[in-house]
Amino acid sequence: MSRATTHNDINPNDINPNDLDHGICDAVVLLQEGGFRTFTSCEGGRGHSFQHATIGLELEGSYTSFHKKLVRFLRSHGMENFTISLVTDYPKGKRCVYLSGLDILSGEKRKQVIESSKRRERKLRRELEEMGIEVPE
């Protein structure tokens, strides 16, 4: 998909995986089933709304308690590499949290992102070496 998928007020049982970016679908469903209200998601990358995999969640209660609950939930499901950002009043009148990181991607998509990063690193190394700049291993 080239834009973020919105899923306001969706019951986890009503989520159609075909409507979500393939690389982030499992994480969205998992969060919904875990009682978290998601409102947008995007697997990230070229041609997508977000540069990195991102899921928007509605903030429930205090940020501190919500953050702790979300971190415990993610770690209990084997997710360790993620970032949680607080955004207020967007969408209008709501307090939201954006979750991003490699661990919210499917294994297949995560592998693609890592391989792409390695290709970019190799290209950059070649360019620096061509300019006579020594690049440590």
Domains in the chain: boundaries: 5-105
Region of 35 please: left (phi>0), alpha (psi -120 to 50) or beta: left
pLDDT tens, the chain, 137 aa long: 445 556 555 455 566 777 888 889 899 989 999 999 888 899 988 888 888 899 999 888 888 899 999 999 999 999 888 889 877 666 566 788 899 988 888 888 889 888 988 999 999 999 999 999 988 87
Residue 57's DSSP bridge partners are 38, 97
**CA separation for the pair 39, 102 (Å, rounded):** 19
φ, ψ for residue 67, nearest 5 deg? -60, -50
pLDDT of residue 47: 86
pTM value is: 0.76
pLDDT of residue 65: 92
Give which of 46, 5, 48 is closest to 28, Cα–Cα.
Answer: 5
Tell me if 47 sits within 8 A of 16, measured CB to CB.
Answer: no
pLDDT of residue 2: 44
pLDDT of residue 1: 43
